[in-house]
Amino acid sequence: MASKLGDKLKTYRTKKGLTLDALAAAAGMSKSYLWELENRESLHPSAEKLQAIAAVLGVDMAFFVDDSVKQPKQEHLDDAFFRDYNKLDASAKEQLHQILETFKKK
């Protein structure tokens, strides 16, 4: 029997169009481990593993540990975006700033 975490992982992974193989490769873990996360009740992934999965899926890992939500809230998506933004180099950040300014003018 799957846990709430497992249900969310499977639902969101398939919604993003990813196979277990693709998510496993992108997150740096085995397909069998992801399958167990999605289908077993008792597994509790480390924060590091959950963060890796969340990063690939473009959502904050808080979404996966919050049992009160079934779909990511905007804050979960925003937190993931800002985490990715902080990893960018200065040139890429400047490009995003210019894009944002263009949208503000409309």
Helices (H), the chain: 4-15, 20-27, 31-39, 47-57, 62-65, 74-86, 90-105
Provide the pLDDT for residue 11. Answer: 92
Q: Which of 8, 95, 20 is nearest to 59 (CA)?
A: 8
pLDDT digits (tens, 9 = 90+) for 4-48: 889 999 999 999 999 999 999 999 999 999 999 999 887 789 999
Query: What confidence category does residue 57 fall into, taking pLDDT thresholds of 50, 70 and 90?
Result: very high
CA distances from 36 to 18, 61, 75, 90, 103 (A): 16, 18, 28, 39, 43
**Does residue 1 carry a pLDDT above 60?**
no
Task: Delineate the domains of the chain, giving CATH numbers in brackets.
Answer: 4-105 (1.10.260.40)
